[in-house]
Structure 1
Amino acid sequence: MGKRLNEKTASDAQQKRVKRYKPMGDRIRNQQNAFEISPGMKGFFVTCTRHKEKKSAMETIDLLEEYAAKLYPGLEEEIENEGADDNEDGGAQDGTEATDAAAGDIEDEIAREVAGMKSNTKQKLFRYLNTTIDCIVFIKCHRRIDPEQLVEYIFEDLTKTMQRKTRFTGRLIPAKAITTSKIDAIVKGAKDVAKDLLADDAEPSTFSLVVNIRYCDGLKRDDVIPAVAAPLDEKHKVDLKHSKYTVVIEAFKSICVLGLLTDYTARRRYNLQTLFDEPAAAKDGENVKATEPDSQSGPVTLDDSKPEDAASQAAE
């Protein structure tokens, strides 16, 4: 009788312990899905189909790697050699003070294994970072890659070949600068992104703004647009339909991605899906209509949508 009572008491205690430590498991899962983007990074802002974020990231990285190999021939090999040189120096320092030959061999072997692991990390030109937001993906790139140059190169080629290379990915926007989602930081970042347009010797041209805001408390379109447009408006003319240059501002959570793109409307808002729609319809002799909603058909836009509306708009 006493034995059964003890077993029951032990079972109850075990259940209490499980309930007590359950919240810790939730914290661990939350930490694994932490927001990973921070100001100062370079990369690519990507929209995609809901629940296909990782697949979109994989196919986008494949696309970026394909064109990076053409635009930057030999870069990956150079980066690998740089990593090997750095690691070899570190390994030499570890082995110079070893007096025992056998111990030195073991230390050298361990050092080479560690160096190999570090080298594999350094070799990655592109890396997927979690945004914790449905339909939004961010790809971080190596410091020696120019996101703006690479995206322009990709769309120049795709416009000529009209060959679809992705299935789940929508807009591909270069992150020329990343700031916090505060209005002052965004204005400063926009000036840095558009510094060539603000230069004294810059030729007058046309510009527009694309402003999308997601999950940013206190950040409003009516504050962002006039503040960013003011310095550009002194030399250039606003053209909402066929501007030569478009400053893209994608603010979400605590950060803001900024990019400068050319022929934004003609290239279908740099959308890897709708880019191919218009030529296909034109070949069939059909009337071509914009596929995006009326609220986002103009360059000056804002996405203040609620979380449940984000999926329908993100891939556009």
Structure 2
Amino acid sequence: MSTDGKPKPATAAGDGAKGKKRKHYLPHNRPVKKKGSYPLRPGVQGFFITCDGGRERQASGEAINVIDSFFEELLYGNGTTSKPAEAVSKPANKKIKFSYSESESSSDEDDDDDDGEDENGENESEAHTGEQVDPGNSRGENSELQKDDKQSHDKTAETPEEQCSGAGEPPSKKQCLEDCSSKCSLKDNKEEKSIDKLIEDEIKELGDKNKRRFVTLDSGCNGVIFIQMRKQDRDPGPRDIVQHIMQSAASTRKHMSRFILRVLPIEVACYASEEEISRAIKPLVTKYFPLETDHPQKFAVLYDARANSGIDRMKIINSVAKSVPGPHKVDLNNPDKSIVVQIVKTICLIGVVEKYKELAKYNLRQLTSPGS
């Protein structure tokens, strides 16, 4: 008989295929959570870094380590603090005696008194030995003296725990010792809790991305990473940090990373349009190119665009050059300062650097290579 009216049973392969297809469908009216770093956006400042293609993740980790180390050098110095002469002159392995309470010191004094009494007793016995003593009784007396010495030695050799227990002490002294021991134990517990709490707070702060000083932002381009810097008051800016990195690399020729190529400071980020750029660059121009100055400077505009072919290159360069006031002049061959304009998709990143050509165009690999 034909089974036209009945639905055909689905095979296991068909069910698996349908299940796999259904996983690709998105839930209705629910936002999709993006995994990874936050995208590059206007209003941030940090470091524009080029690297080897496909090594963005490794380069971002190296960049954060390098930037953080040079940031600490600028903020705290080289980390070498000179010790005072008194601390150096004193020996390191000296005996330190801790006094927790007056009761322990009094117990030490009592022990000393006991020792003195034992010595006096021994002297008295030695003084009486000059008298005539029967030979039979001398052995018994010597054994009794040895027993007394052992008992006095056992008393003086009591451990601090036995002293704290207050065995053989008056009740007032016992109470003082118990109070001191309870206070010491409570103090130790408080210190342990405070240390544990500090460690937990530090771990939470490191895990919270909003409290990190340097954070990686997704640029959306191959071979390009951006490290955002959350600058606080009295902290060196991205320009100071990059300048310090390049000068130290040029002087020491020390290899710092494997994948980082060029590092540029970014102080202004806005949308890539002529109006937005001319408006956002004003505070940067007033900072580095003041209107009233006795030393006018020569400048050049360095333009580069990635993943954006719809913007006119000359319009952006002219708008940036026109925003600089009159006393300063354009000089492409030997500029004092260079205005960096990097366009990544729809975001324009702007910064100011010095000695751009002298420092190998801020290429870290070229500065640290032995042949350069």
- CA-CA distance at 1:239 after TM superposition: 1.7
CA distance in 2, matches of 1:113, 1:275: 40
SS, match of residue 213 in structure 1: strand
In the alignment, the residues of structure 2 paired with residue 235 and residue 151 of structure 1 have an alpha-carbon distance, to the nearest angstrom, of 27
Number of residue-to-residue matches in the alignment = 240
Judging changes above 3 Å, is the alpha-carbon distance between structure 1 residues 45 and 63 closer, same or farther for their aligned structure 2 residues? same
The structural deviation recorded for 1:233 is: 6.3
Letter of the aligned partner of 2:44 in structure 1?
M
Identity %: 24
Q: Is the 1:189–1:258 contact (alpha carbons within 8 Å) kept by the matching residues of 2?
A: no
Contact 1:181 1:216 in 2 (8 A): no
Greater C-alpha Rg: 2
Partners in 2 of 1:28 and 1:214 — Cα distance?
Answer: 28
Superposed CA RMSD: 3.1
Corresponding position: 1:195 with 2:197: no
Q: Which of 1 and 2 has higher RCO (CA within 8 Å, sep 6+)?
A: 2
Matched, 1:164 2:252: no
What are the residue-to-residue correspondences of 1:136-285 with 2, within 5 Å? 136-144=224-232, 145=235, 146-202=237-293, 203-232=295-324, 234-276=326-368, 280-281=371-372
Equivalent of 1:119 in 192, 200, 205: 205
Shift of 1:164: 2.0
* Residues 80-126 of structure 1: CA deviation (Å, up to 9, x unaligned): xxxxxxxxxxxxxxxxxxxxxxxxxxxxxxx9998556422255321
Please say if residues 43 and 141 of structure 1, whose CA atoms lie closer than 8 Å, have aligned partners that are also in contact. yes
Describe the shift of the 1:118–1:184 C-alpha distance in structure 2 as closer, same or farther (beyond 3 A): farther
The amino acid of 1:156's aligned partner reads Q
Q: 1:201 deviation in Å?
A: 2.3
Whole-angstrom distance in 2 between the partners of 1:182 and 1:113: 47
Structure 2 regions of 5+ residues with no counterpart? 1-6, 78-196
Amino acid in structure 1 at the alignment position of 2:353: L
CA contact (8 A) 2:51 2:224 kept: yes
Shift of 1:172: 0.4
Structure 2 Cα separation of the partners of residues 226 and 128 of structure 1: 31
Q: Specify the alignment match of 1:53 in structure 2.
A: 56
Secondary structure in 2 aligned to 1:185? helix
Please give the alpha-carbon distance, in whole angstroms, between the structure 1 residues aligned to 2:309 and 2:203: 41
Aligned twin of 1:106:
none
Any idea what SS the aligned residue of 2:67 has? helix
Deviation of 1:8 (Å): 3.5
Say if 1:224 and 1:254 are closer, same or farther in 2 by CA, change over 3 A.
same
* Cα distance in 2 between the residues matched to 1:9 and 1:201: 82
Q: Distance in 1 between matches of 2:245 and 2:261?
A: 14
Shift of 1:189: 2.5
- Of the candidates 29, 34, 37, which is equivalent to residue 31 of structure 1? 34
Distance 2:337 2:255 in 1: 25
